[in-house]
Structure 1
Amino acid sequence: MSNGQSSIEVIKVSAQDSIKKSSFVKHLGNGYLPTKYFNFDLRYLIKFNQYEGVRTGVGGITNNAFSEKFRINAYSVYGFRDDQFKFSFGGGFRIAQKTNTWINLSYTDDLQETGSTKFITDGRFFQFFEPRLLNIDLFHKHITKSITLEHQLLDNVSTKVEFLTSKISPTYAYTFNSDNKSLSDFRISMAIASFDWSPFSNYSPSEKGLIETKVGYPKFTLQYSKSIKGAIKGDFNFSKIDFKTIHRIIVEENNYSEITLVSGLANGDTPLTHMYHAYPNNISKETVMQRFSVAGLNSFETMYFNEFFSDKLVAIQLKHYLKPFNISTRYKPQLVLITRYAIGDMKQPEKHENVTFGSLNKGFTESGFELNKLLFGFGLSFSYRYGGYHLPEFTDNIALKFTFNVTL
């Protein structure tokens, strides 16, 4: 074998190693630890919240080496404070490769934050550290069975339709008055249709389906949910319509403005579990330093947990990312200016018993800044609450927190 051939083989091996390393890092950045047939999901490894305390477990999903037409996913976790196991298992099968059409089935016995709204077309989101989870204390237990159809309607339009039935038990004292009945536990049977539209993005086909090769803005998501009374023992008739848009105005790389608008409207007999809470992230303690925690990505840092609930809500966040300070090749902290505003209301708050909350009809405003990546991904956040819900005690309007930003 000539030296030239040896050199070519060495280059090929080096290139293959580089591709494998890049693929591994990409999987890790998406929250997976890949193995031959199964990718372990790092989201279930360890978390913490006020109800479960430390929550730890294992989970994951089969990969393409196992099958390109079938997939199986499952997880099991344990909460040390509530001394309870939670779990989920399911699977899916592809019925059309060209449109990436899948039918998925799942069974879940777990907790969900009361007042949180999930867009079912949202892509997977992973953070090594999820700050809001630390302080959440208002959860409801749910046993949910669901069937989902996902379909790529157009290159830039993805859709999902889901039908689910849930048995719900709040972990806190709560009674909902509906049709002259008082319910502490209830069943919900719901149909959901969601559409995600990215008109200014570019896509290319690949073995794993369409890949977004150019990220364009704005992006839009629209979702409609209908709870059906009497369907599989469902207790309520109500509907929800939710809308989200994200837009970026880019000056140059790492120097841009981002606008996020989220709105929702619930109509009919809607329990508190399915209302809107505007993503608060402040704990009810006396001093600023006692409330010192970690800032979220899109949360209201000066809004106290469980302070407001609404059946109609509009929330807008404005962020401007200044060009990072070029202190050295590795040390480049970045200043982000932030303003958030939310307005909402609730038609019949008296239906919700044993809980106390306020209305957002005066409009909630906070502004502040983040100074990110000061040391090992950590930074600092400062927010100030003013306007219609400004509090009499000056320090109660202030939130001082860590930020944490790490990218692979």
Structure 2
Amino acid sequence: MQAQNSAINFLKIEQDSVKKSFFLKQIGNGYFPTKYFDFDLRYLVKYNQFEGLRTGLGGVTNKNFSEKYKINGYTVYGFRDDAYKFSIGGSVRLSESTNTWLNLSYTDDLQETGSSKFLTDTRFFQFFEPRLLNIDLFHRHITQAISIAHKFHPKLSTETQFSSSNVEPTYNYVFNLDGEQFNKFQFTTATLSMQWSPFSQFRIADNVYKNIKEGYPKFTLQYSRSIKDVLKGDFNFSKLDFKTIHRHLHKNKNVSEFTLVSGIARGDVPLTHLYHAYPNNINKETILQRFSVAGITSFETMFFNEFFSDKFTTVQLKHFLKPFNISQRYKPQLVLISRFAIGDINNPERHENISFGSLRKGYTESGFEINKLLFGFGLSFTYRYGGYHLPNFEDNIAFKFTFNLTL
């Protein structure tokens, strides 16, 4: 009897441990799980220069609700612009073995001007997104979209999307196209995105491929086409975007990471759909006034809205030294960083009421981070040099906090 009770207690402890591990994993992925619905922690609290404090609720149904259907959505409120934003969507699984989903969505929200994302990018969550604090150039969009996500192979994921968007900049901007002036835009866009992970490893479990080891490099390619006069689209243009990430683990447990992002846009492209290089420097006079929090992949010395391009390439190199083993819990880490960006823009005169430069001379910055000094916080120092070195020495320096927290 005693042996039986011990076995029962052991199983109970193991089950509790599995539940705790699952809960922490979900929290780390940005979800607070409940029985049928997982709340998305990304929508709880954020801050930016246009909305001020932004808060709300959102989430998605989980497998207990259905393994074939998903319902997702969110609603948020910005206190400074005094406006609600929301999104509602649904998905239906067409094939389990190829993880094929048909998705529908309706979104009324803000997007940072010059930003772009890949449809096939996996979800990325940070408890604290530092770069968002200082963004001030947004456009509002109302977008209806339908897409199909499909795995042709465990190592090749694709998503195809067709969308229609009404876009209105929140700032004073005019796109002058052959004498016709636009301050609001309608886009009808078809997009194909592919992500190839040739060195990742998979195994079959319950008739579904599970990723058991992330392999590098990874490659992502995306083509978008905006079509004029279809569903009232205003412009013809195309965009081709590429990204590759490579990580190498050295024998001494140092890690080197290489990231290349490139894009080219051709046709009649308003500022909202051009590229920036993810700047993260505040337009303030002194180093201390610009003191904020460093991002993960942003250019720390590049000022917000300083450059826009219709063709660009960025290269980022990071070398993570093995953490300093000061104690069991205290292990700060030194990271060496170098970033480079180059780009250009055709017809800059089309973009009225806003001034910006090009990246044709090549932009370079280098520096280091010392992470996890105290409660996940660290320090970052970056220096701007090369073609866009500024006359005032202090303007080339970015000194910031870093924040890294893992569960």
TM-score range, shorter chain: over 0.9
Q: Counterpart of 1:278?
A: 277
Quick one: structure 1 residues 402 and 347, their matched pair in 2 at CA, closer, same or farther if it must change by over 3 Å? same
User: C-alpha displacement at 1:97, in angstroms?
Assistant: 0.7
- One-letter amino acid of the counterpart of residue 144, structure 1: T
Q: Take 1:74 and 1:207, find their aligned partners in 2: how far apart are those partners?
A: 29
User: C-alpha displacement at 1:253, in angstroms?
Assistant: 7.3
Q: Counterpart of 2:355?
A: 356
- One-letter amino acid of the counterpart of residue 105, structure 2: S
Quick one: structure 1 residues 101 and 302, their matched pair in 2 at CA, closer, same or farther if it must change by over 3 Å? same
CA contact (8 A) 2:97 2:207 kept: no
Moved more, 216-225 or 197-206: 197-206
SS in 2 for 1:232: coil
Q: Counterpart of 1:224?
A: 223
Moved more, 245-254 or 43-52: 245-254
Structure 2 unaligned runs (5+)? none
List structure 1 segments (4+ residues) > 2 angstroms apart after TM superposition.
Answer: 204-211
Q: Counterpart of 2:345?
A: 346
Once the two structures are superposed, residues 64-111 of structure 1 have per-residue CA deviations (whole angstroms, 9 ceiling, x without a partner) of 000000000010000000000000001000011110100000000000
Q: Does residue 263 of structure 1 match 2:262? A: yes
Aligned residue runs from structure 1 range 120-269, under 5 A = 120-206=119-205, 209-252=208-251, 254-269=253-268
Once the two structures are superposed, residues 353-403 of structure 1 have per-residue CA deviations (whole angstroms, 9 ceiling, x without a partner) of 001000100000000000000000000000000000000000000000000
Moved more, 176-185 or 330-339: 176-185
Aligned residue runs from structure 1 range 52-131, under 5 A = 52-131=51-130
Q: Take 2:66 and 2:207, find their aligned partners in 1: how far apart are those partners?
A: 12
SS in 2 for 1:231: coil
Moved more, 206-215 or 300-309: 206-215
SS in 1 for 2:27: helix
Q: Take 1:194 and 1:396, find their aligned partners in 2: how far apart are those partners?
A: 38
Q: Take 1:75 and 1:151, find their aligned partners in 2: how far apart are those partners?
A: 25
Q: Take 2:154 and 2:252, find their aligned partners in 1: how far apart are those partners?
A: 26
SS in 2 for 1:233: coil
Once the two structures are superposed, residues 7-29 of structure 1 have per-residue CA deviations (whole angstroms, 9 ceiling, x without a partner) of 11111111111110010000000
User: C-alpha displacement at 1:180, in angstroms?
Assistant: 3.1
Q: Take 1:167 and 1:218, find their aligned partners in 2: how far apart are those partners?
A: 37
SS in 2 for 1:379: strand
Structure 1 unaligned runs (5+)? none
Percent identity between the aligned chains? Answer: 66
User: C-alpha displacement at 1:211, in angstroms?
Assistant: 2.6
Q: Does residue 325 of structure 1 match 2:324? A: yes
User: C-alpha displacement at 1:324, in angstroms?
Assistant: 0.9
CA contact (8 A) 1:259 1:318 kept: yes
User: C-alpha displacement at 1:207, in angstroms?
Assistant: 5.3
Once the two structures are superposed, residues 284-336 of structure 1 have per-residue CA deviations (whole angstroms, 9 ceiling, x without a partner) of 10000000000000000000000000000000000000111111111111000
Q: Take 1:351 and 1:208, find their aligned partners in 2: how far apart are those partners?
A: 54
User: C-alpha displacement at 1:208, in angstroms?
Assistant: 9.6
Q: Counterpart of 2:295?
A: 296
Q: Take 1:194 and 1:92, find their aligned partners in 2: how far apart are those partners?
A: 18
Would you say how many aligned residue pairs link Structure 1 and Structure 2?
Answer: 407
SS in 1 for 2:168: strand
Q: Counterpart of 2:49?
A: 50
CA contact (8 A) 1:204 1:212 kept: yes
Once the two structures are superposed, residues 238-278 of structure 1 have per-residue CA deviations (whole angstroms, 9 ceiling, x without a partner) of 00000000011210475111000000000000011110110
Q: Counterpart of 2:308?
A: 309
Q: Take 1:74 and 1:384, find their aligned partners in 2: how far apart are those partners?
A: 41
Quick one: structure 1 residues 38 and 5, their matched pair in 2 at CA, closer, same or farther if it must change by over 3 Å? same
Q: Take 2:13 and 2:3, find their aligned partners in 1: how far apart are those partners?
A: 15
- One-letter amino acid of the counterpart of residue 385, structure 2: Y
Q: Counterpart of 1:407?
A: 406
Aligned residue runs from structure 1 range 365-376, under 5 A = 365-376=364-375
Q: TM-score, normalised by structure 2?
A: 0.99
- One-letter amino acid of the counterpart of residue 281, structure 1: N
CA contact (8 A) 1:254 1:324 kept: no
Q: Take 1:226 and 1:295, find their aligned partners in 2: how far apart are those partners?
A: 33
Aligned-residue Cα RMSD (Å) equals 1.0
Q: Take 1:333 and 1:50, find their aligned partners in 2: how far apart are those partners?
A: 32
Q: Take 2:305 and 2:257, find their aligned partners in 1: how far apart are those partners?
A: 27
Once the two structures are superposed, residues 3-55 of structure 1 have per-residue CA deviations (whole angstroms, 9 ceiling, x without a partner) of 11111111111111111001000000000000000000000000000000000
User: C-alpha displacement at 1:179, in angstroms?
Assistant: 4.1
